[in-house]
Amino acid sequence: MRRRSRVNLLIHRSLIKNRKRKAGFDKRVSNSPQNRRFSGGTIMDGVTRVWIAESDPAQGRYLADMLRMSGQFDVVGVSPSGQEALEAVETTQIDVLLLALALRDMDGLAVLEKVGKSSLISYPRIAVITAMAGTHSEQAKALGADVIFPKPVDEARLVAWLSESLKNSPNVAQSGMEQRRMVAKKALEYLDMSPDLIGCQYLVEAIAIASMDHMVTRRMMSELYPKLAAMFDTSVSCVERSIRHAIEETWTSGRLSAAVSLFGYSVDPKRGKPTNSECIARLGEYVRFLLSGEDARVMTIN
C-alpha cells in the first residue's frame, strides 16, 4: 500500500511539473513574433503540426509560408534555437520537426541525440534540412532523422514527404526500443507472467510500442494488432486471443500484490482483470515513466 501511494505521488508530482513547464513554454511560443505571424499560437485539429527550427530568418519564413499555403499543415512555431526546438518536441506533441543543423545555442545533431534519449508520449517525424547533406547525412540518420533534404529545398518533394510521413513510425523513436523491451519484460516478470506464454511475447512488443505512442491503444484492431501479427508472422485474431489468455492466466495465478501495485484501482472490479488495451496502456505508461528521468529512478521493479 505504501509503495503504491509513493508511486502515485511521484506520478502526480511529475505531471504537475510537466504542466508548469508546458505552460511556460506555450506562453513564450504564443508571444514570439514568428508564431504570431505564422500560426497565431494555435494548433488546428486534423492538420499535421509542424515546428521549424531554422537559424536563417528568411529560410524560416519561406518554409512556413510555403507549408501554410498548401493548406495541409499548421506551422506551430518557427525558431532559430535548438533548445526551443527540443522543448517543442517535449511539450507540444508536434507531428513533424523540420530541423536545420546550424542553429543557435544547440546544433541540430545535438537536438536529434537528446530527442532520441527522451522518453516521450509521442515522437515527431524529423526532416533534417542542410546545405551540407553529404557531410552529415549518415550521422543525422544514425541519430534518428527520417529524411535529409539538401538546400535549396525541393518544395514538391518536401510536401510529398510530409503528406506521407505520418503513416510510418518515426526513426528517432526506435533508438531506445531495446531498452523499452527490457523494461516491459521486467514489468511482466514482476506480475509473475510466464514467459512461455505466447501472449507474453506479444505483450512485450505491444507495451514497448505503447510507451512510444500512447494513442496506439485506441487503434488496437486497426494498427497495433496488425503490426504485431506482421512482426510474428501470425494472424490478428491470434494476437488478440493470445494476449487476452496471458492476462487471464496472470490475474488468476500471478502476484495479486504486484497487480494492485501497478494497476491500482484502474481495473473494473466486475471483470477482475484489465482488458488488453487497459493492460498495454497502463504498462506502456509505466515503462515511459520509468525511463523519463530523475523521479522515476526510485521506481525500480523488484
Phi, psi of 102 (to 5 degrees): -90, 105
C-alpha cell at 175: 533508438
**Tell me: the pLDDT tens digits for 77-123?**
999 999 999 998 888 778 899 999 989 888 999 999 888 777 666 77
Question: Looking at the chain, which residues constitute the CATH 3.40.50.2300 domain(s)?
Answer: 2-168
**Tell me: the pLDDT tens digits for 244-301?**
999 999 988 877 777 777 887 666 656 778 899 999 999 998 888 887 653 333 344 4
Separation CA 11–CA 286 (nearest Å):
10
Q: Quickly name the fold that domain 2-168 has.
A: Rossmann fold (3.40.50)
Separation CA 58–CA 63 (nearest Å):
9
**Tell me: the pLDDT tens digits for 165-200?**
766 666 666 656 778 888 899 999 999 999 999 999
pTM for this structure? 0.53
Instruction: Tell me whether residue 29 is exposed, middle or buried, using C-beta atoms within 10 angstroms of its C-beta: 0 to 12, 13 to 18, 19 or more.
Output: buried
Domain over 176-298 is classified CATH 1.10.10.10? yes
CA angle 46, 50, 51 (to 5 degrees): 150
Collapsing DSSP states into helix, strand and coil, what is residue 100?
Answer: strand
